Structure 1
Amino acid sequence: MRQKPQLGFWQIWNMCFGFLGIQFGFALQNANVSRIFQTLGADIDDLPILWVAAPLTGLIVQPIVGYFSDRTWNRLGRRRPYFLGGAIVASLALLVMPNSPYLWFAAGMLWIMDASINISMEPFRAFVGDNLPKKQRTLGFAMQSFFIGIGAIVASALPWIMANWFDVSNTAAAGQIPDTVKWSFYMGGAVFLLAVSWTVFSSKEYSPKEIAAFEAAEEEGGSNDEPEKRELTNYNKGAAGWIIAGAVLCAWIIAQGLDKQLYILAIGAIVFGLIQVITGQMQSRGNTDNGLYHIVDDLFHMPRVMKQLAIVQLFSWFALFAMWIYTTAAVTSYHFGSTDVTSPAYNEGANWVGVLFASYNGFAALAALFIPLLARRLGCRMSHLVNLSIGGLSLISFLLIKDPGWLIVPMIGIGIAWASILSLPYALLSDVLPTAKMGVYMGIFNFFIVIPQLIAASVLGLLLREFFSGQGIYGLVIGGVMMILAGLATLLVDKEAEPDLAL
């Protein structure tokens, strides 16, 4: 049986290079969107609910793109049409976002920008699984982490670079976005499209026939049986449970006058219940040849290792979302002493956050070079535990550091954790996924990236207001604790999931 050949360094380089552009988009978004929202009049309590667009679009878009990319084949290939289409729309969105005249317009542009970035990004994970043999996948995901770090170094620091190297105005009238932010987004749009285009036109993909042959070779001697369909009664029971839970939570929120952001969780539970009702009815009528049914059916038949990694991802991405939302508010108020978005101190602090984000991504790029070596020595699970523990302690240390110049130091640990989050869970996961469903399962795995972000968007504002007087610095402390828990959860993953690594 034909085995998937190992690829050379520059082949892996080319197929991962597009992540440089994708991370340009994400880094500009993560470092500047809270600043844009606050400039347009948002209160700190409103930031989590405004940010909900990012995880919600990922929850919807990624499994759909994964499902259809598994079934696509044209002159550009299987995954590459989605790389290019998403890049074109994302680049246009990056040009429009910093020119948002109103808060509602900026929130809407975040939906469009994040959806298009997700369309371009989702197939990149499956791209590694498609093109690389199992022994090279850890290296492939680490290479993606390297480009993510490099792209984000420049993108996160662009407003600071514009202000300090090119003397671009860093302040603006009330309600206006500074020119430093605008020109950073314009450059980001160009880099996004060019980098993704490099991967699209310099890489090749295996045809569906070749993929099927490789999968047959990998599964030789194993069972190829399809899992049994989930029973209709289980769909009905699950639907009832989720709908009732959501309704009870809605009633509790209304009766107690609780934070409106909690409706995200309540409505989410009801929607998931209704999806199970629809899926169960499709199965009972034999109408199972459609994307919704296959995505939901695959969700309930996830491999055991994927379920274990879901717990790790839940804690990890709650922590990251807390960092992305609150670092600007925390640093500008706690370290620079200003909450006035028109003041020089606030804008100096906001630019310093860009530098901090650039630095952790730079450290992530360096860490990505050594993670395969560490994983080879300690294993992926223990390496991830060590890396996330370092990252969690680094986030907590923001509370203890008073001089903003010293905040560069904890960014080393955050960079190590970030590089690990972007590589090791995927290395553990990819070997247990069927090649023919690599795209849809990578999309489903994204559920456990975006669901914790939706939870964070629902509860973080409430937690900070009720227990920490609305101080953003404690959002980072909560994130640090969650990241340490994520590291400990890695020990729950089966030891058998450890990949056979090659460098």
Structure 2
Amino acid sequence: MATSVVAPASTREKPRLSFWQIWNMSFGFLGIQFGFALQNANVSRIFETLGGTEIALYWLAAPLTGMLVQPIIGYMSDRTWSPKWGRRRPFFLVGAILASFALLVMPNVTALWMAVGMLWIMDSSINISMEPFRALVGDLLPASQRTTGFAAQTFFIGVGAVVASSLPWMFTNWFDVPNTAPAGQIPPSVKYAFYIGGIVFFLAVLWTVLRTREYPPENLQEFEEEKRRTAGFINGVRESFAGIFHMPKTMAQLAIVQFFSWLALFSMWIYTTPAVTSHIYHTTDATSKLYNEGADWVGVCFAVYNGVSAIAALLLPAIARATSRRFTHLICLTAGGLGLISIYFISNPNMLLLSMVGVGIAWASILSVPYAMLAGALPANKMGYYMGVFNFFIVIPQVVAGLILGFFTKNVFHGESVYTLVLGGCSMIISGLLTLRVADDDKIRLPLIEDQPVDPAYNAEASPNPRV
């Protein structure tokens, strides 16, 4: 392993940041989740519209790109510094430009191979923006505010996903935009949703880029010398994959938790549309009006669970302080697992919204609590790198999902996708139980307002008008 790079603010306690500073540094996740929500709610629908049958296999494009992109971007951003643009923000901006372009192109594909290839490009671009956002919380916030920082990101993830997941339904029901199209063509409502998503993605990330400042390295000369010795794409690839064998204890324990929780999530994202349309709407014809009504309702369901997560995210820090982060994660994941399992017993589409409440509670915790536990166990000078390596345990379950869920759905469950969702619910509950064995020693029960004041210099630079 290469010698560590000197980190910013690594030898002094970071000052607490104000509400509006945390708001500004997290706002870009609103756009990032527009991209992910449109992808999660509509890509399986696009695959089926274009004649695809092996949906889980097509989704392998997304995790493979994440496995390559996130740790390398984390490694590179750890070794980046610009007095004007900082460490993480250049990657925010580049990823936003590429992802916005991909969102504009995706609904205009005309062949299955084009859709799979565009998923590859879109997911890579979103990951370029997303990974440094996780590291930014560890860079700028003291230990006592990290749960709040990740919860703020989760709030914007929820808000963005509520709107983005509902867009096709909104266009159809509010503006009479057709949600059906001839065989092999993407419905106009889906196209317009992706266009809006591309615009929002870029503008939201740009807000964070322009209104957040980062701490410089403590010793800039030493940082530059170390960067020259350790920089390079090949070195980044080598170190990124080697990092999986040199994880801190807490990270290794969380890796198993992540595997089972994300396996559940991918089963939901891949199979909710075919499960709902076949099990509740009783159709598999992707050109029929009934199928597209069911697919639109899946978008609404996804909006509901993301809306619930936005609210739940605001409560998680208080619950974690009153109990523990491990217990909080267990309760949330159990609620999500029961929510997925309950879909099997539902015949009225409206009742799916109750199932999504449980999923939303789990989603809020998955997006914040593991990262808060992880940040306290990582060396400050490798925050981005290890956050990227941690992504392996999001990617690996998606690869497993792509390889085995299709087999189980077809050969074990005889094409009944709803059983795949039940399997995902069981996986999520197992994940919650495994959380109890995670070593989490970070201080999280500190009062919300400490004796240490908000850093006035940082405040003036990061947000000249903190009320914006």
TM-score (normalised: structure 1) = 0.83
Task: Give the Cα separation in 1 of the matches to 2:233 and 2:117.
Answer: 34
Instruction: Identify the range of structure 1 (25-34 vs 68-77) with the bigger mean alpha-carbon deviation.
Output: 68-77
More helix by proportion, 1 or 2? 1
Counterpart of 2:279? 334
User: Which 5+ residue runs of structure 2 have no aligned equivalent?
Assistant: 1-10, 223-231, 449-468
2:94 maps to amino acid: G
237, 240, 249: which one aligns with 1:295 = 240
2:301 maps to amino acid: L
Matched, 1:8 2:18: yes
Residue 491 and residue 178 in structure 1: after superposition, are their counterparts in 2 closer, same or farther (change >3 A)? same
Counterpart of 1:206? 215
1:378 maps to amino acid: T
Counterpart of 2:80? 72
Q: Deviations over 1:129-163 (max 9, x none)?
A: 00101110000000000000000000000000000
Instruction: Identify the range of structure 1 (312-321 vs 467-476) with the bigger mean alpha-carbon deviation.
Output: 467-476
Matched, 1:164 2:173: yes
Task: Give the Cα separation in 2 of the matches to 1:464 and 1:290.
Answer: 40
Task: Give the Cα separation in 1 of the matches to 2:121 and 2:243.
Answer: 27
Task: Give the Cα separation in 2 of the matches to 1:289 and 1:119.
Answer: 17
Contact 2:144 2:443 (C-alpha < 8 Å) held by counterparts: no
43, 49, 52: which one aligns with 2:57 = 49
1:300 deviation in Å?
1.6
355, 359, 369: which one aligns with 2:304 = 359
Contact 1:87 1:116 (C-alpha < 8 Å) held by counterparts: yes
Q: Deviations over 1:232-256 (max 9, x none)?
A: xxxxxxxxxxxxxxxxxxxxxxxxx
1:290 deviation in Å?
2.3
Contact 2:322 2:445 (C-alpha < 8 Å) held by counterparts: no
Contact 1:97 1:106 (C-alpha < 8 Å) held by counterparts: yes
Contact 1:145 1:423 (C-alpha < 8 Å) held by counterparts: yes
Contact 1:18 1:198 (C-alpha < 8 Å) held by counterparts: yes
Contact 2:29 2:157 (C-alpha < 8 Å) held by counterparts: yes
Counterpart of 1:190? 199
Matched, 1:373 2:383: no
Task: Give the Cα separation in 2 of the matches to 1:448 and 1:67.
Answer: 17
Matched, 1:448 2:387: no
Task: Give the Cα separation in 2 of the matches to 1:93 and 1:199.
Answer: 21
341, 345, 349: which one aligns with 2:294 = 349
Residue 337 and residue 79 in structure 1: after superposition, are their counterparts in 2 closer, same or farther (change >3 A)? same
Matched, 1:411 2:360: no
Task: Give the Cα separation in 2 of the matches to 1:147 and 1:182.
Answer: 23
Q: Deviations over 1:391-450 (max 9, x none)?
A: 000100000011011110011110000000000001111011011100010000000011
Contact 1:63 1:440 (C-alpha < 8 Å) held by counterparts: yes
User: Which 5+ residue runs of structure 1 have no aligned equivalent?
Assistant: 214-286
Matched, 1:399 2:407: no
Contact 1:317 1:449 (C-alpha < 8 Å) held by counterparts: yes
Task: Give the Cα separation in 2 of the matches to 1:412 and 1:375.
Answer: 20
Secondary structure, aligned partner of 1:76: coil
Residue 340 and residue 437 in structure 1: after superposition, are their counterparts in 2 closer, same or farther (change >3 A)? same
Contact 1:322 1:479 (C-alpha < 8 Å) held by counterparts: yes
1:3 deviation in Å?
2.4
Counterpart of 1:153? 162
Counterpart of 2:30? 20
Counterpart of 1:222? none
Matched, 1:125 2:134: yes
Task: Give the Cα separation in 2 of the matches to 1:318 and 1:402.
Answer: 25
Residue 93 and residue 357 in structure 1: after superposition, are their counterparts in 2 closer, same or farther (change >3 A)? same
1:31 maps to amino acid: A
TM-score (normalised: structure 2) = 0.89
Contact 1:23 1:152 (C-alpha < 8 Å) held by counterparts: yes
411, 415, 419: which one aligns with 1:474 = 419
Residue 418 and residue 323 in structure 1: after superposition, are their counterparts in 2 closer, same or farther (change >3 A)? same
Q: Where has structure 1 moved over 4 Å in runs of 4 or more?
A: 210-213
Task: Give the Cα separation in 1 of the matches to 2:288 and 2:436.
Answer: 47
Matched, 1:40 2:50: yes
1:473 maps to amino acid: V
1:434 maps to amino acid: P
2:32 maps to amino acid: I
Secondary structure, aligned partner of 1:112: helix
1:299 deviation in Å?
2.4
Task: Give the Cα separation in 2 of the matches to 1:196 and 1:386.
Answer: 32
Counterpart of 1:103? 112
Contact 1:131 1:205 (C-alpha < 8 Å) held by counterparts: yes
Secondary structure, aligned partner of 1:117: helix
User: How is 1:174-189 mapped onto 2 (pairs within 5 angstroms)?
Assistant: 174-189=183-198
Counterpart of 1:312? 257
1:293 deviation in Å?
3.4
2:309 maps to amino acid: A
Task: Give the Cα separation in 2 of the matches to 1:22 and 1:289.
Answer: 27
Task: Give the Cα separation in 1 of the matches to 2:447 and 2:438.
Answer: 21
2:345 maps to amino acid: L
Matched, 1:29 2:43: no
Task: Give the Cα separation in 2 of the matches to 1:366 and 1:86.
Answer: 28
Task: Give the Cα separation in 1 of the matches to 2:281 and 2:429.
Answer: 28
1:292 deviation in Å?
3.1
Task: Give the Cα separation in 1 of the matches to 2:335 and 2:110.
Answer: 41
Secondary structure, aligned partner of 1:338: coil
Matched, 1:141 2:141: no
Counterpart of 2:453? none
Task: Give the Cα separation in 2 of the matches to 1:168 and 1:404.
Answer: 22
Q: Deviations over 1:249-272 (max 9, x none)?
A: xxxxxxxxxxxxxxxxxxxxxxxx
Counterpart of 1:59? 67
Contact 2:241 2:389 (C-alpha < 8 Å) held by counterparts: no
2:73 maps to amino acid: V
Task: Give the Cα separation in 1 of the matches to 2:122 and 2:175.
Answer: 27
Task: Give the Cα separation in 2 of the matches to 1:101 and 1:288.
Answer: 34
Task: Give the Cα separation in 2 of the matches to 1:354 and 1:41.
Answer: 20
Secondary structure, aligned partner of 2:436: helix
2:317 maps to amino acid: P
Task: Give the Cα separation in 2 of the matches to 1:486 and 1:500.
Answer: 24
Secondary structure, aligned partner of 2:298: helix
2:57 maps to amino acid: I
1:497 deviation in Å?
4.8
